[in-house]
Amino acid sequence: MIVADHVTFQYAESSEPALRDISLSIDDGDFVGITGTSGAGKSTLAMALNGIVPHEWKGDFYGSVKIDGMDTVEHQTEDFCRKIGEVFQDIDSQMVASVVEDEILFGLENFGVPHGEIKIRLEKVLEDLGIPDLRKREISSLSGGQKQKVAIAAILALEPRILVLDEPTGELDPESSREIFGLLRKLNEEKGITIVIIEQKIKLLCEYVKRLIVLDKGALAFDGVPGEIISHIETFKTLGINVPPVAELSYLLRQSGVYDGGITLTVQEAEKMVREVLHDPV
Amino acid sequence: MIRFEHVSFGYPNGETTIEDLSFHIQKGDFVALIGANGAGKSTISRLCNGLLRPLSGRVYLDGQDTLITPTSQLAKKAGFLFQNPDRQICENTVEAEIAFSMKVQGWPADKIRERVAAALETFDLQGDWFPFNRSRGERQRIALAGVLACEPELLILDEPTTGLDYLECIRIMDHIKMLNLEKKITVLMVSHDMELVQDYAGRVLVLSGGKLLGDGPVKEIMKNEPLLRQARVLPAQIPSLALAFGDRFADVFTIREMYEAICREKGRGICRAGREKE
C-alpha cells in the first residue's frame, strides 16, 4: 500500500511546484491510471510514489509518501525497489543488454537472486508474458510492442508487488497498446500485482483501469471510477483532456433528456445505449 | 508533389519491406498514412525526403528524383517532424534550435531572426529555454517550430501528436491545417489515431506489410471496417458505432452528426444547449 500525505515537490531548477498538496492512497491490488496534460505532474507523481523523488531529483519535498509504512524520505530507494518496479517512458534508456535473455538476467543477478532460481524466474516470466520465442532475440530487432513486453518482463522477473509504468504504449499502435493493457489487466487480476500507469490515451484508460486519477498543474483534479469522473466532460475539456467520443455522445444525449443512463466509455456500451434510446432490439 | 513509381525497399536486417508501391500525392493534399507498427509507414515517410532511397523504382519529390538529388536539396522542400522530438533537437537553446535548419540552409541572418521571433510567438515558446528539460509536448512544439520556420512545401509528420495532451494536439494540428489550407503546404501524416485522421486528413493511404491495401477519401476509408481490421487499425469510435447500425447512420461521421441523427430518429428537435425543442 502506498500513502501520499500532502505531498508538494518543486524541482531545484523550477520556479513552480510540480506537485501541489497531493494526498491519496493506492491499495494493494489497485489498477490505477494517472492522466493529465503535459506538465501536469504525472511522471513526478509516479516518481514520488516509488521514492525516486526526492532521492534522485534535487528539489524541495514536503509531506510524506509511505510504502508499506516506510517513509520514502527516511529510507533509501534500494529499500523499495524490491517492492516497486518501474517501466520508464523511454524504454530504450532502460535496456542495458543487447539480447532479451540478458536483459532479464541483468536485474535478477543484480538483485542477488540465487543461481538456481534465476533460470526458473526467467522462463516463468517469458511464459507469463507470452514471449518465450523472443528469448534469444537481439533487442534491436524487436518491434516496439515486443520491446515493451521485454521491459515489463525484466521488471516482473524481480517479482515486485507494485508495477509503475510511465506511458508504456507511447509509441505503439492501438492493437499493440491494447495487448499491453490486456497483459497488465491479467497481471492485476491473476497475480494481484498493483498497477499504476501513466497514460495520455484516455480511451484505453477508460476501458481498462479500475480507478482514474487526473492531475492538473500538479494538483489532484479527479480521483475515482472512470465512468463517474468522465461525466464531468466540460471540466475535462477545460483541463485540456479529451474524453472518448462515445462518452461525449452519451453526455449530449443525457443533456437533451433522451437518455438517463451512465456515461458510455466503449463502442459496445454506446451501441447498447443507442439501441435503448431508439427502442431497438439488442 | 510526391510520386512513388513501383518502389521497393528493404532494410539489411530484413525488417519492413516495401514492395512495388505506387501512388501520387498532389500539391496541397493532406494525406494520412495509416497501418499497424511495422506496416512500412515510417519507411515511406523517409523515402519521401531522401532519408532512405528506393532499392528499385523511383520516388519523385516535386519532380526531383530522390535517387540522384542530394538530401540537402530535398530537405529544402520537405520538412520532417520525427515522432520523438529528442531525435531532432540538437541545440542548447530553443532560439538556436529553431534557427538551426535555416542556418544550415543558408538563410540570411535578418530573415532568421525575424522567423525565429515569429515562431516563438506562434508556438508559445521562450528563446532562452534549455530544450531538453522541457515537457514532451513543449519539445514537440520546439521541433515543429524549427521545421516550419524553413517554410517547407511538404510537411512530413511521423506520429506528430505522440505524448501530447489534447490541447497541445489540437493547437499543433489546427496550425498545420491552417498552413495546409492557406499556404497550400502539402501534408503527409503518419498516425495511429483515427480520430485525428478523421478530423484533419482529406485522403488516407492504408498500409499493411509494405503494401497499399487502400487509398481513398477519409470518409470512405473510415467506414471501411473490414479494410481497417485487415490493416490492424482500430477504427474511430463514432464511425465504428454508426456501422453497428448498418445503413441507418450511413452519413454519420462525427459526435455531433450522430447526436443529431439520433434526435431525428426520436422525432425531436435538436438540443443545442441542454434543452430540447419538441
The span from the CA of A247 to the CA of A203, in Å, is 10
Report yes or no on A104 lying in a domain.
yes
If asked whether residues A202 and A98 sit together in one domain, one would say yes
**Which residue out of B142, B174, B256, B262 would a mutagenesis test of the A interface target, given it has the greatest number of A Cβ atoms within 10 Å?**
B262
Task: Tell me what the pLDDT averaged over chain B comes to.
Answer: 89
If asked whether residues A47 and A113 sit together in one domain, one would say yes
If asked whether residues A195 and A280 sit together in one domain, one would say no
For residue range A127-183, list pLDDT tens digits in order: 888 889 999 999 887 877 788 889 989 998 998 999 999 988 876 788 888 888 998
| Domain edges within chain B | 2-224, 236-278
A277 contacts B266? CB cut-off 8 A? yes
Higher pLDDT, B269 or B120: B120
Query: pLDDT band for position B58 (50/70/90)?
Result: very high
Report yes or no on A157 lying in a domain.
yes
Report yes or no on A234 lying in a domain.
no
**Residue B239 half-sphere exposure toward CB, CA atoms < 13 A:** 20
CATH topology of domain B2-224: Rossmann fold (3.40.50)
If phi > 0 it is left, if psi is from -120 to 50 it is alpha, else beta; for residue A217 that is: left
For residue range A86-124, list pLDDT tens digits in order: 887 777 777 889 999 999 999 999 888 999 899 999 999
Report yes or no on A236 lying in a domain.
no
If asked whether residues A139 and A265 sit together in one domain, one would say no
For residue range A187-215, list pLDDT tens digits in order: 899 989 999 999 988 999 999 999 999 99
**Which residue out of A35, A166, A173 would a mutagenesis test of the B interface target, given it has the greatest number of B Cβ atoms within 10 Å?**
A173
If asked whether residues A163 and A272 sit together in one domain, one would say no
Query: Residue B7: pLDDT above 80?
Result: yes
What was the pLDDT predicted at B86? 84
A242 contacts B276? CB cut-off 8 A? no
If asked whether residues A211 and A279 sit together in one domain, one would say no
The residue of chain A with its CA nearest to that of B171 is: A240
What was the pLDDT predicted at A2? 93
Higher pLDDT, B241 or B85: B241
Percent of chain B with pLDDT over 90: 60
Query: Residue A242: pLDDT above 80?
Result: yes
Burial class (CB within 10 angstroms; exposed 0-12, middle 13-18, buried 19+) of B273: exposed
Report yes or no on A235 lying in a domain.
no
If asked whether residues A180 and A274 sit together in one domain, one would say no
Kindly report the nearest CA distance between residue A148 and chain B, in angstroms: 13
If asked whether residues A108 and A174 sit together in one domain, one would say yes
What's the number of domains chain A is made of? 2
The residue of chain A with its CA nearest to that of B13 is: A141
Query: Residue B277: pLDDT above 50?
Result: no
For residue range B152-195, list pLDDT tens digits in order: 999 999 888 877 778 888 888 998 999 999 999 999 999 988 99
A246 contacts B37? CB cut-off 8 A? no
If asked whether residues A170 and A251 sit together in one domain, one would say no
A248 contacts B268? CB cut-off 8 A? no
A205-237 burial: b if 16+ Cβ within 10 Å, else e? bbbbbebbbbbbbbbbbbbeebbebbbbbeebe
Percent of chain A with pLDDT over 70: 99
| Residue given cell 496541397 in the structure block | B28
Report yes or no on A105 lying in a domain.
yes
If asked whether residues A265 and A164 sit together in one domain, one would say no
For residue range A44-77, list pLDDT tens digits in order: 999 999 888 989 888 999 999 999 999 999 998 8
Query: pLDDT band for position B76 (50/70/90)?
Result: confident
Which cell numbers in the block locate residue A129? 508474458
What was the pLDDT predicted at B16? 59
If asked whether residues A223 and A249 sit together in one domain, one would say no
CB-CB neighbors (< 8 A) of A145 in chain B: 37
Kindly report the nearest CA distance between residue A140 and chain B, in angstroms: 10
CB-CB neighbors (< 8 A) of B207 in chain A: none
B165 contacts A240? CB cut-off 8 A? yes
B245 contacts A246? CB cut-off 8 A? no
Domain that holds residue A260: 244-282
Kindly report the nearest CA distance between residue A149 and chain B, in angstroms: 15
Q: What is the pTM of this model?
A: 0.83
Query: Residue B276: pLDDT above 50?
Result: no
